[in-house]
Amino acid sequence: MSRLTYSNPRLFIGDTEIKNFSSINYKDSGNNQVTSLQVSIKDPELDGAALMGKKVYFYLNHGSEDNVPFFIGRVRQFQPSDTALSITARDVLTFLTGNESPAVTLTDTVNYDGYTLAQFLYDYISTTVNKQETLIGLDMLNETDPTITLTGLRGNNLSPLKIVTDRLPKKTSNLEDLREYRILLRNDATTSHISFVKEQGLDDAAVSFSFNDGIQKLNYKKRPNPNYFITNVGDAISEYTDNSLPTGVVSGKLKKTKFDYPDEAREEAYITARLEENRKEVTLTTSKGHYLDIGNIVQLNTPNHPELTGKHRIKAKSIKAGGTDMTCTLTLNKEQPTVGDYI
């Protein structure tokens, strides 16, 4: 972080400000997963058990004072030691995982037929999650475009979060600019509100990064492109190859596992192959970009690495704060975890 950049991170647990923390690690792994905040507090006598379930507010205050918390969550783990107390807080998506609130069982009698993704979330959150207090705000909940319904969905012990994330629509009209909908938590002073947002397009304005402006460290690696996919179409198992396997077989995995029609599976395999084509896993340690969202586009200007110059999409973000130091790490282009996408 530049010595000239204002930085004053502040942490509150319940109504109490915690001033003696030694480090704070924020991690958003992408893929619409639960975001975590790990804090080390230099007070071994602090009662970790008494903090369980308490609300956590983290103000990043990078560059200027924040009007709303950067992170809102609940304490979910603690680990005491002789010199410090470590706690882990998770954002409100944890209440949709099926672990901290009831999983969903859908039958021909009890189901969400006809409900859109937004209508399902509103019903589940208002009747199950927010029964005693507002844990997840609904004031900013919106529909996707196109809308997706849950008609025909059946199953036992389904995760509400996975029900939604497995069905978020993608823009497929331009295979050079594939954008997805993501779940975004928008914070006000006290509450995280759930919403859907479409990723930025490649033609949208992008924050620029270079070694003279923002980039402190850069790493990247390139994996072989997946070109062979196997999946279920109806009751049959079907195989799909891409580009006649010029580099040999590199197996890939489709997000969707079952298809009703061969053309549907073929399109998904083609789109997946195009998404992976010429992709590089880029990791930036930066002095800016702390408030950028997952799915945002950034412009890299790296003359010493011309193969990286151009626009990339943020897929994960982590921030470490301690004392006067603050570092931001952005992962570009590929969702985390990346190794698990290959067989």
pLDDT in the model for residue 171: 64
Query: Is the domain of 233 the same as that of 334?
Result: yes
Give mean pLDDT in consecutive 10-residue pieces for the chain, a chain of 343 residues: 72 94 96 96 86 96 94 96 93 95 96 98 97 96 96 97 93 65 97 96 91 95 80 85 72 82 86 72 94 95 91 94 88 52 30
pLDDT in the model for residue 139: 97
pLDDT in the model for residue 297: 93
pLDDT in the model for residue 70: 98
Taking the C-alpha atoms of residue 316 and residue 343, their distance in angstroms, rounded to an integer, is 22
Query: Is the domain of 184 the same as that of 235?
Result: no
Query: Is the domain of 189 the same as that of 121?
Result: yes
3-state secondary structure of 141: coil
pLDDT digits (tens, 9 = 90+) for 133-170: 999 999 999 999 999 999 999 999 999 999 999 999 87
Domain total of the chain: 3
Percent share of the chain, pLDDT over 90: 63
Domain final residue, candidates 144, 167, 198 = 198
Do 330 and 283 form a contact (C-beta atoms < 8 A)?
yes
Query: Is the domain of 84 the same as that of 118?
Result: no
CA atoms within 13 A of residue 81's CA, in its CB half-sphere: 8
Query: Is the domain of 19 the same as that of 64?
Result: yes
Angle (CA) 60 219 325, round 5°: 30
Entry field: residues in the chain = 343
pLDDT in the model for residue 203: 84
pLDDT in the model for residue 337: 35
Residue 4: inside a domain:
no
Query: Is the domain of 212 the same as that of 313?
Result: yes
Angle (CA) 199 166 335, round 5°: 50
Residue 231: inside a domain:
yes
pLDDT in the model for residue 173: 55
Residue 1: inside a domain:
no
Residue 337: inside a domain:
yes
Residue 113: inside a domain:
yes
pLDDT in the model for residue 266: 86
pTM for the whole thing?
Answer: 0.84
Domain final residue, candidates 198, 220, 240 = 198
Query: Is the domain of 249 the same as that of 289?
Result: yes
pLDDT in the model for residue 4: 59
Residue 5: inside a domain:
no
Do 285 and 332 form a contact (C-beta atoms < 8 A)?
no
Do 142 and 193 form a contact (C-beta atoms < 8 A)?
no
Residue 3: inside a domain:
no
pLDDT in the model for residue 271: 79
Query: Is the domain of 214 the same as that of 337?
Result: yes
Residue 19: inside a domain:
yes
Domain final residue, candidates 91, 107, 138 = 91
Query: Is the domain of 154 the same as that of 233?
Result: no
Query: Is the domain of 308 the same as that of 225?
Result: yes
Which structural domain, as residue segments, surrounds residue 249? 207-341
Query: Is the domain of 82 the same as that of 106?
Result: no
Query: Is the domain of 59 the same as that of 166?
Result: no
